[in-house]
Each structure stands twice: as C-alpha cells, then as structure tokens.
Structure 1
Amino acid sequence: MTIDWINFTPWQSLAGGLLIGIAASLLILADGRIAGISGIIAGILRAEKGETWWRVAFVAGLAVSPWLYSLFIPLPEFHFDSVSWALLGPAGLLVGFGSRLGSGCTSGHGVCGLSRLSKRSLVATILFIVFGAITVWIVRHCLGV
C-alpha cells in the first residue's frame, strides 16, 4: 500500500471530522435530533409538519459547503474515467436499501450512535466496515476495477 502524498490531506480531514462532530453535537444538544443523513432525507420525503425546514437546511448545507470550501482552498481534480455510470444508480439504490434495512446510515450509527454508546450502532458500524472491506476486495480482485 502506498500513500498518495500529493492528495494526502490530514489537516483538512481533521478539520472536517471536527466540524462533523461539532455539528452532530450541536444538533443533538440544541434540538435533541440525530444527525443521520438517511433519516434526515427520509424526513424530507415524508414531509411531516414542522419538520421539513431544518432538514432541507441541513441537506442544503451539505450540498453547498464543498463549494464554499473551494472558494478558499482549491479542491483536487477528480477524474471519473473508470466510473461505470450504469453501476452508479443501482449502487446508490443498494446504499439506500441498506441504510433503511440497518435503521440508519454510517453518519447516524458511526458518529451519533457510537457517541451515545449504542450497542446497535456499534454492531452496525462494525458491519459497515467489514462489508466495505469485502466490497473493495471483490471490486479490486474479482472485477479488476
């Protein structure tokens, strides 16, 4: 294994992790809500009265923040040469199905659930990591991507 030193960004990654932790802490302390992205988006789609505005604002912040960041620090170039767009849609649907099946996503279980010492979130996070590693192995060794 080698590290891509040109695109290695430990300080930006640390800052991003701190911001995620602060945002998740503020949301739960100020409003008693969990910052699980799949649950937030599901709440937008269900459109419960009084619940939509903060969810839309949260998702808009997720969408706008990389653009704001790029105004101050240039982002590395991304190349999508090896992306199979025909697989991207079904992969997204599988992720959505998996987060629904697991009663939450990596952000909900991994960030918020573990910080609340949830056993269910610990099991879910371990399973995310294990199946992520298995998927990477299959994609690299069996599919040759």
Structure 2
Amino acid sequence: MMIDLAHFTPGLSLAGGLLIGLAAAVLILFDGRIAGISGIFGGLLTWPRHDIIWRLAFVVGLVAAPVIASLVGKPVQIEIGSAWAKVLVAGFLVGIGTRYASGCTSGHGVCGLSRGSVRSVAATVTFMAVGFLTVFVQRHLLGG
C-alpha cells in the first residue's frame, strides 16, 4: 500500500474529527438530538414539521462550511471519477440502506457508538465490512 504523502493530512483530519465530535456532543447535550445526517435531512422531507428550523440550519451549515472554507483558504477541486448515473444509483442505494439501518454512518458511527448503542455497533460493523468487501471486489476481482 502506498500513502500519497502530498495529500496525507493527519493534523487536519484529526481537527476535523474533533470538530465533528464536538458538534455531535453540543447537539445532543443542549438539544437532545442526534447528529445523524439521514435523519436530519429526512426530517426536512416530512411535512408538516414543527422542528424544521434547526434541521434546515444544520443542512445549510453542512453545505455552507466547505464553500466558506474554500473562499478563505485554497479552493478544493472535487473530481468524481465515475459516471453520474452510477453516482445517482449509488446514492439511491445508500438512501435505502439508511432507512433499513435506521440511520447513516454519522448517526450510528459517531453518535450511536458514543452512547453505547448495540444497534449502532451492529450497523457500524456492517457498514465497514460491506465497504471493505466492496473495495476488495472492485479492485481485485473486477480489476478496477
């Protein structure tokens, strides 16, 4: 395995992880809500909702933060190395998976594990195992 040292940023990655953990802790401590993106976004799609303001603010913050960061620092160029049809199908499958798993990787992996949720342990282990298997199949069996 080769590590791309030009893009290896353990300090920034650690800082980002700490900020995600801090944000999740603040949300649950001060508002009693779990920072699971699929649940927060899914709640925006259900009308009428009495809690739309905080959900909308959370999603706007997720979108605005990288935009503001790119204006302040060096802009990051995002390249998607796959056809849009594949990306859309993959996103749709992830959406279905989050409904079956009662949450996404952020909800289960960050918030559920920290609360000691057995369901979140099972979900996170499953997410990771399937991710590892997918990469293995893609790289070694399909020659991608």
TM-score range, shorter chain: over 0.9
**Alignment partners' CA distance in 1, 2:132 and 2:10:** 22
- What one-letter code is carried by the residue in structure 2 that aligns with 1:141? H
TM-score by length of 2: 0.94
- What one-letter code is carried by the residue in structure 2 that aligns with 1:110? G
Instruction: Please give the per-residue CA displacement for 1:90-142, whole angstroms capped at 9, x wherever unaligned.
Output: 10000000011000000000000001001110111111110000111122123
The equivalent of 1:43 in structure 2 is 43
The equivalent of 2:23 in structure 1 is 23
The equivalent of 2:100 in structure 1 is 101
Q: CA deviation at 1:76?
A: 4.3
The equivalent of 1:7 in structure 2 is 7
**Alignment partners' CA distance in 1, 2:21 and 2:32:** 15
What is the root-mean-square deviation in Å for CA atoms of aligned residues? 1.3
Q: Secondary structure at the match of 1:68?
A: helix
- What one-letter code is carried by the residue in structure 1 that aligns with 2:125? I
Between Structure 1 and Structure 2, how many residues are aligned? 144
- What one-letter code is carried by the residue in structure 2 that aligns with 1:68? I
Structure 1 runs (4+) greater than 4 angstroms displaced: none
- What one-letter code is carried by the residue in structure 2 that aligns with 1:113? G
The equivalent of 1:137 in structure 2 is 136
The answer to whether the 8 Å contact 1:106/1:128 transfers is yes
Query: Gapped runs of 5+ residues in structure 1?
Result: none
The answer to whether the 8 Å contact 2:70/2:76 transfers is no
Q: CA deviation at 1:75?
A: 4.2
TM-score by length of 1: 0.93
What percentage of aligned pairs have identical amino acids?
A: 54
The equivalent of 1:123 in structure 2 is 122
**Alignment partners' CA distance in 2, 1:85 and 1:49:** 32
Query: Gapped runs of 5+ residues in structure 2?
Result: none
